[in-house]
């Protein structure tokens, strides 16, 4: 009887140990994200830096294997689905390509593919001053100041900030942000909506426009006031006072039989 009891206890211990091992194995699989023996998934990443406004080529991309739970939403699982799209911002090497970073190219200019919905591309003629001395790059944000003659005086100028936080799409015919230093350009292409385009055309016809470069971190709306440069107000000049010369006169005063002289000053 004793021998049978020992064998029974040994069998129960083996069954419990086997069950504990299976529970531990399943727990470890759950922690490692490998439940049910799921396979690794593939995602498209960049091998080179893709500048803003550039058409994505197959040589710019590669496939990378990641656990399914590490792949972000909006990514691509094949290189063919990305090739031919246009980058609407700079994509750096090793980044996962997302739908929001590349736009479909439906034909025509690649610049049209990066325009936001409801926006238009409009070019403005500039010089070294209007173009912020050549420091503008595609992707910068600018404010636009309009200056025009006010009233009949040729010397009176009125200036006003008519558009704020406008995106620069291209400078001359360059949409890439890769540039070593400032370059004087002749035209800047801006992203505006139809109403902003009308205001910009009116400003260029009535006077001159000036671009002011914004800090990319400056997202606060400021209260702007219209500045007016006019002729200085005339200053009234007092007429010089006439100089009055003092004249002394002698007056004889007779009192009874006595006479005396008194000096009188006018």
Nearest one of 182, 161, 162 to 171, comparing CA atoms = 182
Q: Per residue in 161-197, pLDDT tens? A: 899 999 888 887 665 555 555 566 788 889 999 999 9
**pLDDT tens per residue across span 115-157:** 888 889 898 887 765 556 567 788 888 999 988 877 655 667 7
3-state secondary structure of 122: strand
Residue 36 reports pLDDT greater than 50 = no
Q: Which CATH number fits domain 41-112: 3.40.50.2020, 2.60.120.200, 3.90.1210.10, 3.30.70.260?
A: 3.90.1210.10
Each domain of the chain, given as residue ranges in start order, spans: 41-112, 117-229
DSSP-assigned states of every residue in 198-259: HHHHHHHHHSEEEEEEPPTT---------EEE-PPPPPP-PPPPPP----EEEEEEEETTEE
């Amino acid at each position: 009887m004793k021998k049978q009891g020992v064998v029974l206890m040994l069998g129960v211990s083996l069954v419990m140990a086997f069950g504990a091992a299976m529970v531990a194995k399943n727990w470890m699989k759950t922690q490692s994200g490998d439940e049910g023996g799921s396979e690794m998934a593939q995602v498209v990443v960049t091998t080179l830096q893709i500048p803003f406004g550039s058409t994505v080529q197959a040589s710019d991309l590669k496939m990378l294997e990641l656990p399914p739970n590490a792949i972000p939403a909006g990514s691509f699982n094949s290189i063919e689905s990305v090739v031919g799209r246009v980058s609407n911002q700079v994509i750096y090497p090793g980044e996962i390509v997302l739908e929001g970073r590349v736009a479909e190219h439906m034909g025509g200019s690649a610049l049209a593919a990066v325009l936001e919905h409801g926006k238009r591309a409009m070019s403005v003629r500039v010089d070294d001053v209007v173009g912020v001395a050549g420091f503008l790059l595609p992707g910068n944000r600018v404010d636009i100041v309009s200056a025009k003659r006010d009233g009949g005086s040729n010397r009176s100028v009125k200036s006003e900030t008519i558009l704020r936080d406008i995106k620069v799409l291209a400078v001359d015919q360059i949409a890439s942000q890769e540039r070593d230093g400032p370059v004087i350009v002749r035209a800047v292409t801006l992203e505006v909506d139809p109403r902003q385009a009308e205001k910009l055309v009116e400003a260029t016809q009535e006077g001159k426009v000036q671009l002011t470069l914004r800090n990319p971190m400056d997202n606060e709306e400021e209260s702007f006031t219209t500045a007016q440069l006019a002729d200085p107000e005339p200053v009234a000049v007092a007429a010089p006072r006439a100089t009055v010369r003092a004249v002394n006169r002698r007056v004889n005063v007779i009192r009874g039989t006595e006479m005396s002289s008194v000096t009188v000053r006018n």
